[in-house]
């Protein structure tokens, strides 16, 4: 599965997860942030797909990386506050960490290609 497909699947899982969250004010605010960052990963990777240059590709990929890190943050906040949804959350946290690692490697590799060309 490509990184874009993984990010898309991850975004769907984030939306499904947030639909199960309590509807109080605090949970709603956190889920709003989580949905924005969790779905933005894939949106930025889609933009990177049609980049006009390697520099443009790196820019979009770095934004996706920042969104993945933000998503990881919100998931940890939920984990440490919410005790009823731990099973779903563990998989999401693991996937967000893996997406961060993949995106870091992608940015590094692309920057190396630019330097060597």
Number of domains within the chain: 1
Per-residue model confidence (pLDDT) at position 84? 56
Per-residue model confidence (pLDDT) at position 87? 64
Nearest residue to 85 via CA among 37, 33, 4, 13: 13
Instruction: Give the number of C-alpha atoms closer than 13 A to the C-alpha of residue 62, restricted to the C-beta side.
Output: 11
Low-confidence ranges of the chain (pLDDT < 50): none
Please answer whether residues 66 and 58 qualify as being in contact, where contact means their C-beta atoms are separated by less than 8 angstroms: no
Range of the domain at 27: 3-116
* Domain CATH number, residue 61: 1.20.1440.60
pTM, whole model, 2 decimals? 0.83
């Amino acid at each position: 599965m490509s990184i874009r497909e993984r990010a898309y699947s991850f975004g769907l899982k984030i939306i499904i997860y947030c639909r199960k969250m309590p509807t109080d004010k605090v949970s709603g605010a956190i889920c709003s942030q989580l949905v924005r960052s969790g779905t933005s990963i894939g949106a930025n990777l889609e933009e990177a797909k049609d980049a006009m240059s390697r520099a443009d590709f790196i820019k979009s990929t770095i934004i996706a990386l920042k969104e993945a890190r933000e998503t990881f943050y919100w998931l940890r906040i939920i984990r440490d506050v919410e005790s009823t949804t731990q099973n779903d959350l563990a998989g999401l946290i693991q996937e967000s960490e893996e997406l961060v690692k993949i995106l870091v490697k992608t940015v590094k590799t692309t920057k190396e290609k630019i330097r060597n060309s």
